[in-house]
């Protein structure tokens, strides 16, 4: 489209709001020129300086100003949803493994154009054995659960950095423990949920294991009442130097540490403790867009670390 006044091409952004003139000044001057011509022919009474537009302006089209922008936003949301929502599971070969990756053909095409790390989506429910779990000791296993003794690490996770660990487990005696950012059996972050057999009150305990030496043990009460043999769903978010823990959807702990940068996940029990792990999954930390599509809001929930004071 070209300007009715100067006959130059109308810029794209201007064209979205005005398809006749390349700027407001030319629209005004075009009206003034039209008024002068009418006056010279005797068809307009009064001065042309008071005339501000054509005699018969084109009716405005409803939605012209915002229609294109709205369509662009809707297209972006649909594209992101196709990118993020997996279309089909792709099993990993192996007779004893039950975890899987997911893929989306459209998402794979888009991701190939963007430099990024591989997407994490692993899961195991122990129906077909221990799979790629490595460590010392002899954990008790039965289809659908296992009871760790010393630390057992999930081998596919050992090289990872940021992820969200989620699992379901029960306390059979005193406590259940898990590890993350574990580079090997002697270097990891450890966390335990401890149950008081007297009053049912629970505490969370965390520590750092470096070269086989336990350091900086912290034990804190949590606002939950735990019971033996009941399954609890635990979620641990590991991102950068920040770590959060929630139990059955309730946040119970948040802290930070910089000593271990990479490492996988595992489970352990210490002397006098016993627990049963039913399933475990590992995925990417929840981002703003994943929370947007999962919850149906335009604004994701506030991240706890936005308000945490520096340590």
Tell me the pLDDT of the chain averaged across its residues.
76
Give the integer Cα–Cα distance in Å for 257 and 291: 25
Same domain assignment for residues 270 and 179: yes
Give the integer Cα–Cα distance in Å for 135 and 155: 10
Give the integer Cα–Cα distance in Å for 295 and 70: 22
Same domain assignment for residues 127 and 75: no
Give the integer Cα–Cα distance in Å for 18 and 61: 10
Residue 234 has pLDDT above 80, yes or no: yes
H or E element that contains 25: helix 24-40
- Residue 141: band (very low, low, confident or very high) from pLDDT cuts 50, 70, 90: confident
Please report whether residue 102 resides in a domain.
no
Please report whether residue 1 resides in a domain.
no
Residue 205 has pLDDT above 90, yes or no: yes
Residue whose pair of structure tokens reads 């802290």 in the numeric block: 255
pLDDT-wise least confident of 29-33, 156-160, 229-233, 294-298: 294-298
Give the integer Cα–Cα distance in Å for 224 and 171: 14
For residue 118, the model assigns a pLDDT of 54
Residue whose pair of structure tokens reads 């006056």 in the numeric block: 39
Same domain assignment for residues 167 and 286: yes
For residue 33, the model assigns a pLDDT of 63
Same domain assignment for residues 65 and 145: no
Higher pLDDT, 223 or 15: 223
Same domain assignment for residues 126 and 229: yes
- Residue 266: band (very low, low, confident or very high) from pLDDT cuts 50, 70, 90: very high
For residue 286, the model assigns a pLDDT of 64
Give the integer Cα–Cα distance in Å for 208 and 103: 35
By CB atoms closer than 10 A (0-12, 13-18, 19+), residue 220 is exposed
Same domain assignment for residues 37 and 136: no
The 3 state secondary structure assigned to 76-115 is HHHHHHHHHCCCEEEECCCCCCCCEEEECHHHHHHHHCCC
pTM for the complete prediction?
A: 0.57
Please report whether residue 91 resides in a domain.
no
Please report whether residue 88 resides in a domain.
no
User: pLDDT per residue over 267-282, tens digit each?
Assistant: 999 999 999 999 999 9
Is residue 5 a contact partner of residue 26, using CB atoms and an 8 Å limit?
yes
Tokens at 8, concatenated: 């130059």
Tokens at 165, concatenated: 């660990």
Please report whether residue 115 resides in a domain.
no
User: pLDDT per residue over 153-171, tens digit each?
Assistant: 999 999 999 999 999 999 9
For residue 288, the model assigns a pLDDT of 53
Give the integer Cα–Cα distance in Å for 288 and 297: 10
Tell me, what CATH number does 131's domain have?
A: 2.60.120.560
Tell me the residue range of the domain where 33 lies.
12-80
Give the integer Cα–Cα distance in Å for 264 and 165: 10
Residue 302 has pLDDT above 60, yes or no: no
Number of domains in the chain: 2
Same domain assignment for residues 232 and 285: yes
Give the integer Cα–Cα distance in Å for 76 and 82: 10
Cα three-residue angle 250-252-254, rounded to 5 degrees: 120
Same domain assignment for residues 218 and 156: yes
User: pLDDT per residue over 14-67, tens digit each?
Assistant: 877 887 888 888 888 877 665 555 455 554 444 444 444 444 445 545 444 556
For residue 218, the model assigns a pLDDT of 95
For residue 82, the model assigns a pLDDT of 58
- Residue 256: band (very low, low, confident or very high) from pLDDT cuts 50, 70, 90: very high
Same domain assignment for residues 236 and 179: yes
User: pLDDT per residue over 66-114, tens digit each?
Assistant: 567 777 878 787 766 655 554 444 443 433 433 344 445 555 555 455 4
Same domain assignment for residues 60 and 136: no
Using CA atoms, how far residue 169 sits from 2, 64, 135, 208, 227, in Å, is: 69, 57, 19, 22, 12
* CA-wise closest residue to 206 among 183, 225, 223, 222: 222
Please report whether residue 3 resides in a domain.
no
| Structural domain ending residue among the three candidates 22, 53, 80 | 80
- Residue 193: band (very low, low, confident or very high) from pLDDT cuts 50, 70, 90: very high
Residue 297 has pLDDT above 80, yes or no: no
Please report whether residue 173 resides in a domain.
yes
Higher pLDDT, 272 or 137: 272
Please report whether residue 109 resides in a domain.
no
């Amino acid at each position: 489209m070209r300007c009715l006044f100067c006959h130059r091409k109308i810029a794209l952004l201007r064209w979205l709001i005005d398809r006749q003139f390349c700027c407001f000044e030319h629209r005004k001057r075009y009206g003034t020129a039209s008024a002068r011509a009418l006056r010279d022919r005797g068809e307009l009474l009064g001065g042309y300086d008071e005339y501000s537009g054509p005699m018969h302006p084109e009716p405005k089209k409803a939605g012209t100003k915002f229609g294109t922008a709205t369509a662009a936003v809707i297209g972006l949301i649909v594209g992101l949803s196709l990118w993020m929502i997996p279309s089909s599971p792709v099993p990993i070969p192996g007779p004893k493994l039950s975890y899987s990756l997911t893929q989306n053909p459209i998402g794979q095409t888009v991701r190939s154009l963007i430099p990024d790390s591989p997407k994490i989506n692993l899961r195991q429910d122990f129906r077909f054995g221990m799979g790629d779990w490595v460590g010392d000791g002899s954990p008790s296993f039965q289809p659908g659960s296992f009871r760790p003794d010393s630390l057992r690490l999930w081998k596919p996770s050992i090289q990872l950095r940021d992820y969200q660990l989620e699992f379901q487990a029960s306390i059979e005696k005193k406590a259940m423990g898990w590890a993350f950012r574990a580079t090997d059996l002697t270097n990891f972050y450890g966390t335990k949920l401890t149950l008081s057999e007297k009053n049912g009150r629970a505490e969370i305990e965390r520590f750092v294991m470096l070269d086989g030496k336990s350091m900086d043990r912290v034990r804190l009460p949590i606002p939950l009442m735990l019971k033996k043999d009941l399954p609890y769903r635990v979620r641990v978010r590991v991102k950068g130097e920040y770590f959060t823990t929630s139990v059955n959807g309730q946040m119970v702990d948040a802290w930070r540490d910089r000593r271990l940068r990479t490492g996988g996940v595992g489970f352990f029990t210490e002397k006098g403790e016993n627990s049963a792990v039913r399933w475990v999954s590992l995925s990417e930390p929840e981002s703003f867009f994943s929370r947007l599509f999962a919850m149906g809001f335009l604004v994701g929930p506030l991240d706890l670390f936005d308000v945490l004071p520096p340590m």
